[in-house]
Structure 1
């Protein structure tokens, strides 16, 4: 995000305050609540008791990270007004959530699900489907967590003007994250999300206000300036770019909605009413977050013209330095805001880590290695493997072997292959486990082959979407050629009846 030349010691103080607040939240979240550490539901789902405020902000933190601000503004700077379509990224995710979340919530409460693959295991009763889904989800989570760890180091180092080195920054905040997550589980994660969500919302509003002020106080003038100096950035994009954006909408909309940490927030809702209310409010957030970040990038075109690709990545830091110089009020707002960005990145990382460890403890260990293990033991296994995963990813972040790093590039392309099994299975009783497995496997292979062969897109369409199309064809065609057992149909009938009664 670029170095904040104004911060220095003040930045260190604010980061220390945020770290202490996170630790205090973790301590009080776990204090006196034995169930948090003794049961999978208590630790990973806050006992399914998250109210509206906590659920709303933890969903907000799941969908938006500090990286959204730091990364999307430079994208708007480089792309121009066509980046408006980024708002629809986040909007479509909410639409997909509403497609399946209420229905899944009812079944999850009835069947006491802990992880997303609990639903797949229940729906298809297939070890092959469950194991493949676990692999694809762990892959996506590992990639996402790696991104957040790198971002933590860059953000802290930039905020402190390099006073805190990259490696020290990552280790310090990883230890803070592990400490409060160990103490309070999902409950601690959700409450820290509330803190960082409020700071981010207030901060981005003042960031835009400061940017508009520096640009002359009139956004119309900014638009006129861009039209005169870089007309391509206000022009209608070519057809292939539009196709690529539509492909991205589908890829992100379907993939992000079934991120394991997102699905587990559905399970953690206190009630179906709370869940729907939270999603209804979330529908407005793309305008207040991605929309405002878009304006930051566009304003940056006037304030810092001519930045090349690498330099444009420093846009947010460059603007913050200028905004902080307006007056003491903006100075402290910028420091607190960037502390919030760091906290938001940490908060995203803790959500991903919690979900990663739940898949290891409940799915890999609990279902396949030691099915007879107590829930307390499973929770401990998840915590320990979470720590191992964190430091393994840190090693990759600091010593990225070329081929391994390229493997981690795949994220949504593979994760989205779980979507047909996950969502189509909620609506179509005929969907068959064998067809689901081969569809998921072939879709993942096609997406991987296209990516590694250099064809990340074909005529603007992402490899993951091409794989997903074959995935759907095999799921639907294969299910018509096979049948579901009578006993399984009875279980599905019970689930569908439960959903109908709630509707």
Structure 2
């Protein structure tokens, strides 16, 4: 993010205020809720009672983190107008949600699901599919959590002008996050999402306004400057870039829609009507968030030309320093905004950690290690393992592996392999469990080999998409060559008969 030279002690004060607010929210979220720590549903799904405001903002925080600002703006700076794709893939995520979320909600409410793999176990009754899906989802969550930990350290260190070192920054906010999540579970997470969502929305408008003011007062002058100095960033992208664009749309659109913590927010809605209203409002958010962040990167091309590689990652901090110098109004808006960015990153991390611990407690421990364990014991196991996982990832976060964007791409390659089983299984009764299992295995192997051997794309197509294509082919062809996996289960028949292909 870059150091905010204007912040200093004021930044520390604002960050402390946000930390205290989050702890207070956690305390009051758990206070008076007798069953919140005794029940998987109470702790991990807020009792399935999230109203429209809390659900909207927690969905918003799931899709958009403070890291969206810190990481996406430099990407727009480096690539130019072709990064408009970021708006498209955020929009596609909403479309994919609407494809399956209402139907899944009805089944989840009826069958009392807690985690995403509860649906897969119910649909296929296969330990192999359940274990493989757990692994792929934990992989995605682990990478996403690592991304947030790296971003917390960079954001806090930058905001305090280096007064608080990277490692201390990560540790301090990790302890804050663990404390309020331990006290209030998803309810605390959702209410902190409301706070940081409001701050981010107000702050990003002020950030763009200040940037345009510094760049000459009009967006036309910015595009003219780019045309004269870096015309490649305005040019029509090459064919391989366009292919990569569409590959990214599919990878992110399908992968992000089945984030475990996103699926659990579907489960947590108070009603199907609440869920649909929240998604209807979410449809506008790509323009108001990712669209404005894209503008930040484009404005930065004129304000700070010539930044390359790691230097471009400092763009947001560099711009904030300049915007804060306009007047006292922008000074305090920038400090509060960047405090909100830190809170947003922490709030995203807590969602991921909560989902990670639920998969461990309900799926790994509850289904395979100790099926007779009480729900209270499962919740405690999830909390403890979550803490262990956090400190394991902290060890990696001390030496961040690549730019934030590279970390962002990494998690989708394997996570997206769950999509055919998860969504196709909702609508196609004939989908066969064996075909699903081998589709996931082959897709994950292909995606993993391409990703970890450095061949992240082939002619612009991501390794995850190549693996997903093979996954779909194996699922469909294998299912037609086999008998339907749901052929004699009356309970599953009842669920699948809502819509049938």
TM range (shorter): over 0.9
Match runs of 1:310-389 below 5 Å: 310-389=310-389
Q: What SS does structure 2 have at the residue aligned with 1:121?
A: helix
Distance 2:31 2:308 in 1: 51
Partner of 2:211: 211
Question: Is 2:142 the counterpart of 1:139?
Answer: no
Q: 1:320 to 1:352 in 2, by over 3 A?
A: same
Partner of 1:4: 4
* 8 Å CA contact 2:78, 2:312 repeated in 1: yes
Q: What SS does structure 2 have at the residue aligned with 1:262?
A: helix
Distance 1:99 1:161 in 2: 45
Match runs of 1:219-368 below 5 Å: 219-368=219-368
Question: Is 2:399 the counterpart of 1:412?
Answer: no
Q: 1:485 to 1:408 in 2, by over 3 A?
A: closer
Question: Is 2:30 the counterpart of 1:30?
Answer: yes
Q: Cα offset for 1:452?
A: 2.2
Q: Cα offset for 1:453?
A: 2.4
Distance 1:485 1:435 in 2: 10
* 8 Å CA contact 2:92, 2:253 repeated in 1: yes
Q: What SS does structure 2 have at the residue aligned with 1:38?
A: coil
Distance 2:243 2:86 in 1: 14
Q: 1:160 to 1:488 in 2, by over 3 A?
A: farther
Partner of 1:465: 465
Partner of 1:63: 63
* 8 Å CA contact 1:75, 1:297 repeated in 2: yes
Q: Cα offset for 1:454?
A: 2.3
Q: 1:283 to 1:443 in 2, by over 3 A?
A: same
Q: 1:206 to 1:434 in 2, by over 3 A?
A: same
Match runs of 1:104-123 below 5 Å: 104-123=104-123
* 8 Å CA contact 2:430, 2:486 repeated in 1: no
Distance 1:486 1:191 in 2: 40
Partner of 1:438: 438
Q: Cα offset for 1:487?
A: 6.0
* 8 Å CA contact 1:157, 1:163 repeated in 2: yes
Distance 2:400 2:315 in 1: 26
Distance 1:82 1:487 in 2: 47
Distance 1:93 1:240 in 2: 23
Question: Is 2:48 the counterpart of 1:48?
Answer: yes
Question: Is 2:150 the counterpart of 1:150?
Answer: yes
Q: Cα offset for 1:305?
A: 1.1
TM-score normalised by the chain length of structure 2: 0.97
Distance 2:499 2:48 in 1: 21
Q: Cα offset for 1:167?
A: 1.0
Instruction: Count how many residue pairs are aligned between Structure 1 and Structure 2.
Output: 497
Q: What SS does structure 1 have at the residue aligned with 2:451?
A: helix
Distance 2:202 2:123 in 1: 43
* 8 Å CA contact 1:429, 1:492 repeated in 2: no
Distance 2:432 2:485 in 1: 10
* 8 Å CA contact 2:486, 2:493 repeated in 1: no
Q: Cα offset for 1:85?
A: 1.5
RMSD: 1.6
Q: What are structure 2's unaligned runs of at least 5 residues? A: none
Which string of whole-angstrom CA distances, capped at 9 and with x for unpartnered residues, describes residues 431-453 of structure 1? 01111000000000000111222
* 8 Å CA contact 2:49, 2:268 repeated in 1: yes
Which string of whole-angstrom CA distances, capped at 9 and with x for unpartnered residues, describes residues 317-351 of structure 1? 00000000000000000000000000000000000
* 8 Å CA contact 1:143, 1:409 repeated in 2: no
